[in-house]
Amino acid sequence: MKLSYLVSLFIIFVLLFSYPLLPTIRHEQMKSRKGSPLSSISLCLKAILNSRIFLRYLPYFFFFQLSFEWMNSFNIYYFKYSLNQEYFFSIYAFTILAQMFGASIYPKLCRYINEVTLFYLATSFSIFGMLAIYVLGRLDPSNLLWMFVAACVKQIGSGLFMVATTADLAHSIQFSQEKTGLDNVAILTSVKLLVAKLSNAIAGLGVGMGLSYAGFVSNQIQSPETAMIIGRSALIIPVFIVLMSCFFYQRFVVYKSEVN
C-alpha cells in the first residue's frame, strides 16, 4: 500500500474516535441517489475511503498544518528562553497581519501563477522565514527589524497555504460528489477540521517532549545547549515537516492530473 494511503488511514483511524464531534447532518444531504441514508460510522468511513482524491489531500494538509502549529507552540519558549528576547513574542504575534495579507493576495496571484506554483511559493516563504528567524537568532538576536521581516515572510507563506488548501479541499469535494453521487460535504469538511485539531494536539505533545529532552527549567536562564535545542526544535523541525507536506502534495497533484 502506498505511503499516502497509510498516512491517511492512520489519520482516519484517530478521527473515528472523534466521530461524536461531527456536526448533525441533514437526512437529505446524506442520501445516495438510491436513497440509502449514510447513518453509521462504517458508512461514513466508507464515504471517506471512496474519495481517493481526499485521501491524497489529507496527508499534505496534515503535515503543513502541523508545521506551523509546531512552530507556534514553541514560539514563546524560543523567544523567551532561547533568545532571551521575550518581547519578540508580542511582535511576532503582530505579524498575523502578514498572514492575512498573504491570504488576501492569493486570488490575485492566481491570475498570473498556477495553483501548484503558488503552493510551492507558500512553502518557500515558510521555509525561508523559519530559517531566517533561526539564523538571526544565532547571529544577531537583538535585531528587531530583520526578525520582524523574517517573521512576516513566514506568515505570508502561511496565509498563501491556508487559501491553497481551502481551494484544494473544494476541488476534492466536488470531484468526490461527481464520482460517488453522494453529498459528503459535511463529513469531509469535518474530517479536515479534526485533522487540524489533531495536528495541534501532536504539536502540543511535541513541545512537552522537546522541552523535556532539552532539559528545560521554567523561569530560569537556560544553558547554551538547552537554548540551542529549543531553537532547533522550534524552527528546524518544522522545516522538515513542510518538506514532508511537499512530498505528499506532489502525489496529490499527480493524482489530480490523472483523474481530470
Taking 70 as the pLDDT cut, the residues of the chain under it are: 1-41, 43-44, 260
Domain-embedded: residue 70: no
Number of domains in the chain: 1
Domain-embedded: residue 156: yes
Domain-embedded: residue 61: no
Q: pTM here?
A: 0.80
What pLDDT shows up at residue 260?
A: 66
Set of cell numbers at residue 24: 448533525
What pLDDT shows up at residue 14?
A: 58
Backbone angles phi, psi at 113, to 5 degrees: -130, 140
Domain-embedded: residue 9: no
What pLDDT shows up at residue 31?
A: 46
What pLDDT shows up at residue 158?
A: 92
Domain-embedded: residue 107: yes
Domain-embedded: residue 138: yes
Determine the structural domain holding residue 242 and report its residue range.
85-260
Query: Tens of pLDDT along 115-174?
Result: 899 999 999 999 999 999 999 988 988 888 999 999 999 999 999 999 999 899 888 888
* Domain containing residue 146: CATH number: 1.20.1250
Domain-embedded: residue 198: yes
Element of type H or E holding 7:
helix 3-16
Domain-embedded: residue 51: no
